[in-house]
Structure 1
Amino acid sequence: MNLTPDSKVLIQGFSEFISATHIAQMKAYGTNLVAGVNPGSGGEQLYDLPVFDLVEEVVEQFGAIDTTIICVHPYQVLDAALEAIASHIRQIIIISAGVPPLDMVQLLRKAEAGETLIVGPNSPGIIVPGKILLGTQPSEFYTPGPVGIVSRSSTLTYEVAWELTKAGLGQSISVSIGSDAIVGSSFLQWMQILDEDETTEVIVLVGQPGGDSEEAAARYITEAIDKPVVAYIAGRQAPPIKNWRQTGTLATVIGRAPNFGTAQSKLAAFQAADVPVAERPSQIAELLKKAIR
């Protein structure tokens, strides 16, 4: 991973998923945005960035690119990401939401073969407070410190960061892995990254109902994570969703526990792993301070 102010960053696409304000915020934060790619707009200037038709043209002009931020239409994400991988970009952040699941399956197979880290889709990106902002996270909520945050949510990630900042607990890295049905990097990958990161002393995991990624993370914490972890699960009062309209849906749930994917299932998994779970975002800082002591 290369998450430093020297990292060269590219933006692919200028859709509704990113605005001039976000780009200005990244620049003001010191992010080294070198160019944008928007087919048909090559040679233009957009948001004070030189725009190219192809990613390979950017590489020819500026050399190797560390990270690309993809903001194209969901149905164009696969092509944009494959173009980035072909140009040897190893960190891809997908801001766009609603990417077709089969497109993500194809993309992840290609990414695994090339050891490419994919964050998202439907993610506000990554921030290393005081160093680099990659995406649309509001930097004013963050301050440098020892707490690593990994989350499935977007806005809840910012709320947790702000609660920590108000409590005097800065952050080392904050990443939202995305909340589409299929996302790139997982809780497990980021738990390992944060566990190995020298600036991170404690980890906050923010989960939500759906799937079993939090349960897998709880097991992984027990087996492989040495640093203290505090969790928060959103949507505790959300009613369980069951769709029985077609046999295909029925087939996907046969053999699963009745509470699969619910907040209660995730809370039980963290309890079994002896991971403290906050009842509300404002309680996270209190639990972290206990873990640090």
Structure 2
Amino acid sequence: MIILNENTKCLVQGITGKQGQFHTEQMIKYNTNIVAGVTPGKGGQEVCGVPVFDSIEEAKENVDVNASIIFVPAPFAKDAAFESIDHLDLVIIITEHIPIHDTMEIMAYAKAKGVTVIGPNTPGVISPKVGKLGIMPIHIFSEGDVGVISRSGTLTYEIASQLTRAGIGQSTCVGIGGDPVIGTPYIEVLEMFENDPDTKEIVLIGEIGGGAEEAAAEYIKDNISKPVVAYIAGISAPPGKRMGHAGAIIAGNSGTAKSKMEALTAAGVKVAQKPSEIVDYIKEARGE
């Protein structure tokens, strides 16, 4: 497993809000190690038995914590992210609609501090053996050795569900986020999965817009020895029209599903035409 493991001790920023409370409860039910919450002005309260503090600095004085998951509304997300980057090793930003300039500043700061950021606009990370830091429905995931990387939360759920139903479990599923600027791109997650003894095969789920999948294809060609299966959403998307995610927009001839599929195929990746084919390709890679 990668990113989320037995040593991850997480706090929830925005824990007293409706989303923060609901997902904290769900994460705890899945045995995730949630040790604290942070909402300025709400220190001293408890949510789902988790102590709430006014700041991350105060939380760190009272509990052992090394990660944060952010449910703070978009206008305040940058401040929340900067605070967590100052004090922690891993920051997962669930929030969507964060202004792109804010996101650029967050990522530059995280890079300078050597902190891993997942997101924003992500469903989070789930390692079925140890827990989840995110909003994904837990019943569709199962413990196993397929690593999943995706820009799309919904497609992650769809494909994980099909894998689980076929008896194929997952080591870790990572939603890298659907915005144009994100913290951890495909390449970095691919490298983690390549070095992860718990992961035997990798599923890459992409969509139209940007050049991330083409860059991933180049990286896979030279650096990944494990079988990779891919699916790209948006084959019939019209140019110039944003499809769902802020980053899912085709400009000119780049960023199309066709260009991404061709690049991945050229890198030796099996590219599924529809999500249901992924199970077949994983079984094929296993010689089943």
Instruction: Place the TM-score, normalised by the shorter chain, in its bin.
Output: over 0.9
Does the 8 Å CA contact 1:18/1:136 hold for their aligned counterparts? no
Per the alignment, residue 79 of structure 1 pairs with: 79
Does the 8 Å CA contact 1:13/1:36 hold for their aligned counterparts? yes
> Per-residue displacement from partner, 1:158-180 (whole Å, max 9, x unpaired)?
11100001111100010000001
For residues 23-172 of structure 1, what are the structure 2 equivalents within 5 Å?
23-63=24-64, 65-87=65-87, 89-172=88-171
Partner amino acid, structure 1, of 2:227:
P
Work out whether 1:275 is the aligned partner of 2:269.
Answer: yes
* Alpha-carbon separation, structure 2, partners of 1:104 and 1:208: 20
> Per-residue displacement from partner, 1:238-288 (whole Å, max 9, x unpaired)?
111169xxxxxxxxx9xx8x4211111111111211211111111101001
Per the alignment, residue 10 of structure 2 pairs with: 9
User: Which one has the largest radius of gyration?
Assistant: 1
Per-residue deviation, 1:2: 5.7
Gap change, CA 1:143 and 1:269, over 3 Å in 2: same
* Alpha-carbon separation, structure 1, partners of 2:137 and 2:131: 12
* Alpha-carbon separation, structure 1, partners of 2:91 and 2:124: 10
SS at match of 1:161: helix
SS at match of 1:192: helix
For residues 199-214 of structure 1, what are the structure 2 equivalents within 5 Å?
199-214=198-213
Does the 8 Å CA contact 1:17/1:96 hold for their aligned counterparts? no
* Alpha-carbon separation, structure 2, partners of 1:223 and 1:17: 45
Gap change, CA 1:159 and 1:242, over 3 Å in 2: closer
Partner amino acid, structure 2, of 1:181:
P
Partner amino acid, structure 1, of 2:199:
T
Per-residue deviation, 1:14: 3.9
Q: CA RMSD in A?
A: 1.8
Per-residue deviation, 1:100: 1.2
TM-score for the superposition, normalised by structure 2 = 0.92
> Per-residue displacement from partner, 1:57-102 (whole Å, max 9, x unpaired)?
0000013x22100110112111111111222x11000000011111
* Alpha-carbon separation, structure 2, partners of 1:40 and 1:231: 45
Does the 8 Å CA contact 1:146/1:171 hold for their aligned counterparts? yes
**How many correspondences in the alignment?**
279
Per-residue deviation, 1:22: 2.1
Partner amino acid, structure 2, of 1:135:
G
Partner amino acid, structure 2, of 1:81:
A
Partner amino acid, structure 2, of 1:176:
G
Per the alignment, residue 260 of structure 1 pairs with: 254
Does the 8 Å CA contact 2:91/2:118 hold for their aligned counterparts? yes
Per-residue deviation, 1:199: 0.4
Does the 8 Å CA contact 1:5/1:30 hold for their aligned counterparts? no
SS at match of 1:197: coil
SS at match of 1:226: coil
For residues 177-216 of structure 1, what are the structure 2 equivalents within 5 Å?
177-216=176-215
In the alignment, structure 1 segments of 5+ residues that lack a partner are 244-252
Gap change, CA 1:2 and 1:183, over 3 Å in 2: closer
Partner amino acid, structure 1, of 2:86:
A
SS at match of 2:19: coil
Identity value in percent: 43
Runs of 4+ off more than 3 Å: 14-17
Gap change, CA 1:272 and 1:15, over 3 Å in 2: farther
Per the alignment, residue 224 of structure 1 pairs with: 223
SS at match of 1:199: coil
Per the alignment, residue 285 of structure 2 pairs with: 291
Per-residue deviation, 1:16: 6.7
Gap change, CA 1:17 and 1:203, over 3 Å in 2: farther
Bigger shift: 22-31 or 228-237? 22-31
Per the alignment, residue 240 of structure 2 pairs with: 241
TM-score for the superposition, normalised by structure 1 = 0.91
Per the alignment, residue 249 of structure 1 pairs with: none
* Alpha-carbon separation, structure 2, partners of 1:242 and 1:166: 34
